[in-house]
Chains A and B, each alone.
Chain A
Amino acid sequence: MDDFTEEQIERYSRHIILAEVGGKGQKKIRDASVFIVGAGGLGCPAGYYLTAAGVGRIGIADVDTIEISNLQRQIAHSTKKIGMLKADSAKSTFEELNPDVKVITYKERLSSKNIMDIIKDYQIVIDGSDNFPTRYLVNDACVMTKKPFVSGSILRFEGQVTTIIPNDGPCYRCLYESPPPRGLVPSCAEAGVLGVLPGVIGAIQATEVLKLILGKGDILKGELLIYNALKMSFKKMKIPKNPNCPVCSEKPTINELIDYEAFCEVRPY
């Protein structure tokens, strides 16, 4: 414990007292780095809790600015920050909560050109994106670089979470081989979302990340957790590894990142 200050020992005392964390675990958390895709409904709570937990370095990517309709659920932002970049707003909120944490912002759109270069500096990735092209880009990039990631998604009253450990379990393409064509699945703007739902899902994503850092407990590897807020039900479905998966099988057919945006738009329904 000698390289924690007294104030830090006090700050993390409720962690340190847990046998599963302890001083050793808290050091692992401090030395960890997590990249969060999106400073929206999922990225805000996930990043907020990981900041509180004392994760040493957090990267957060978003090119959007805050709109008043975001504030019903995106809890790192506030009314006086409307119009500000979400990444900047999240950074200031997180740093105010815990000055031990270094927050790095990425205000460029994630693409096949920059994602590899960004994620190489991080240990774990959280996908809190809101669109399929990014979701598949993150999956493929993480599989290709063997980076664990926690995928979360939400719609109306329902959320899904799974944790992907490349080379040791299925990937997102084993679950859903290819993205739906544009327009077939409604977005939250069209379908609505209960504001607290991403809070639950984002907090579950943060929980998975902390267990990965600590190497404790059971993670959602090979399982899809489905939460229904209306029914207050949690269901786990098994995700088998697809032996013919285009990206994580022994003979992958996708060996480089694709321009998914174009790919999704040209497919007619």
Chain B
Amino acid sequence: MGVKVRIPTPLQRLTEGKEEVEASPGTIIELIGDLEKRFPGIGERISESGKIRRFVNIYLNEQDIRFLNNEETLVKDGDEVSIIPAIAGGDNRNV
């Protein structure tokens, strides 16, 4: 069954435009390692030295992993992981 991973808009160019990919169960940091193998470059956009970057949030189902077990949070078959980075938007740079 695997784990469903939701890829955010800014990272979809690394996943050939795919919005959802499958990954193997394990800890969050193992899951990111798994994604990095298949989609090189994605790992460093999400994490740095084994830690999730501070402008990226990861949700297991609808829970923020910072309030579960962080990078060590266990993800099981059938779970859904969402990667949600901060976005700013717009193009009027002078507000």
Residues of B within 8 A of A179 (CB): 55, 86
Among B8, B19, B67, B86, the one with the most A-chain Cβ atoms within 10 Å of its Cβ is B86
Is residue A135 within 8 Å, beta carbon to beta carbon, of the partner chain?
Answer: yes
Residues of A within 8 A of B84 (CB): 160, 224, 226, 237
Among B8, B10, B89, B93, the one with the most A-chain Cβ atoms within 10 Å of its Cβ is B89
A184 touches B89 (CB 8 A): no
Interface string of A242-255 (1 = CB under 8 A from B): 10000000000000
* Given A157-B9, A237-B59, A188:B90 Cβ within 8 A: yes
Is residue A208 within 8 Å, beta carbon to beta carbon, of the partner chain?
Answer: no
Q: List 19 A-B contacts (CB under 8 A).
A: A41-B89, A64-B93, A109-B94, A129-B90, A129-B95, A130-B91, A135-B86, A135-B88, A160-B87, A176-B54, A176-B55, A176-B56, A185-B10, A185-B88, A236-B62, A237-B59, A238-B64, A239-B64, A240-B67
B residues apposed to A, CB below 8 Å: 8-10, 19, 45, 53-57, 59, 62-64, 66-67, 82, 84-95
A residues apposed to B, CB below 8 Å: 37-42, 61-64, 69-70, 86, 109-110, 128-132, 134-135, 152-160, 175-180, 184-189, 191, 193, 198, 224, 226, 230-231, 235-240, 242
